[in-house]
Amino acid sequence: MVISVVGAKGGIGKTTVAVNLAVLLAKRHGEKVALVELPGQVSDGGMFLDLTTRHGFLSLTEVPAVDADFLARIMSTHESGVHYLGATSDRPAEELSRTSAATVELAGQVLGALKRRFTAVILDCPVALWPLASYMLRRSHTVVAMATLEDMAVLRSALSLRELLGAAGVDSERVVPVVNRAQRSGALGLEDYTRVTSWEKPMVIPEDARSCAAALNEGVPLVLKSPGAPASQAIARLAREVAERARRVTGATVARSHAAG
């Protein structure tokens, strides 16, 4: 199963959710998990996992053909079992100039190789690099659409995200809308989110700045460091939902291909 965690803005929790979802799918749901940051950003997923990285997705623009063994060699392994590939290495200055070589064709090779080796591929997906993101979203069984209630600009970006998902050919049944950093006393509420985006009943992750910052500063994923924290419990619910949905979709795909002979 391929799961994208996507958002039309930075700083809204894409990486937090992608990392912790990956860890939970590996540890609690028995999946062999690859966590991949797509180009269009400077890597920081390694910080959440305390992993240093010498290669990233953009390193792949320099090899003639990507295969599963090569990918396995350049990915870093976290103690949870999650295999991680950042968008860039820890030294991105030179790599970022290769961004335009991150084509849809390369993305197809990478995703194909990952699907041969892993049962769950989690993509940390900004929308900056289009059509690469569009291609990856179209090939995802589940799309976790991130937003916060911080201000109207974030809500507008969530509406843009909804339109982008439509343009990418992602049907609405595959989308799990998520509101992160929710606060009881915030100026904007879930009714504003639904009014602007037309997404109803999003999954909600509460604001938990202390736990999130402590986890990130230590390089221990939140769901391992503070499993009882409200934000961890919300991400655990999201992991159950995502695992269930992805199984339904992949099950349906298998059933269809059997029916087709």
Ligand X SMILES: Nc1ncnc2c1ncn2[C@@H]1O[C@H](COP(=O)(O)OP(=O)(O)O)[C@@H](O)[C@H]1O
* Interface positions with Mg ion (CB under 5 A): 14-15
Which residue among 36, 60, 155, 231 contacts ligand X (CB under 6 A)?
Answer: 231
Across 219-243, b (16+ Cβ under 10 Å) vs e yields ebbbbbbbeebebbebbbebbeebb
Q: Which does 181 bind (CB under 5 to 8 A by kind): Mg ion, ligand X, none?
A: ligand X
Q: How far is the CB of 146 from Mg ion (least distance, A)?
A: 10
Give yes or no for a contact between 69 and 114, defined as CB atoms under 8 angstroms apart.
Answer: no
Cα radius of gyration (the chain) = 17
Of 141, 235, 133, the C-alpha closest to 181 is 235
Tell which positions 147-206 bind ligand X, by CB under 6 A.
180-181, 205
By CB under 6 A, residue 7 contacts ligand X: yes
Helices (H), 28-151: 45-49, 68-74, 104-117, 132-138
Which residue among 25, 216, 229, 242 contacts ligand X (CB under 6 A)?
Answer: 216
Taking the least distance from each CB to ligand X, the nearer of 42 and 159 is 42
Taking the least distance from each CB to ligand X, the nearer of 113 and 125 is 125
| Distance, CA of 259 to CA of 56 (rounded, Å) | 39
Taking the least distance from each CB to ligand X, the nearer of 108 and 189 is 189
Q: How far is the CB of 118 from ligand X (least distance, A)?
A: 21
Question: Phi/psi class of residue 7: alpha, beta or left (left: φ > 0; alpha: ψ in -120 to 50)?
Answer: beta
Q: Mapping DSSP to helix (H, G, I), strand (E, B) and coil, where does residue 261 land?
A: coil
Q: Which does 30 bind (CB under 5 to 8 A by kind): ligand X, Mg ion, none?
A: none
Tell which positions 49-68 bind ligand X, by CB under 6 A.
none
Taking the least distance from each CB to Mg ion, the nearer of 14 and 141 is 14
Environment class of 258 (CB within 10 Å of its CB; exposed 0-12, middle 13-18, buried 19+):
exposed
Which residue among 1, 2, 6, 15 contacts ligand X (CB under 6 A)?
Answer: 15
Q: How far is the CB of 118 from Mg ion (least distance, A)?
A: 21
First to last CA, the chain: 22
Q: Which does 11 bind (CB under 5 to 8 A by kind): ligand X, Mg ion, none?
A: ligand X
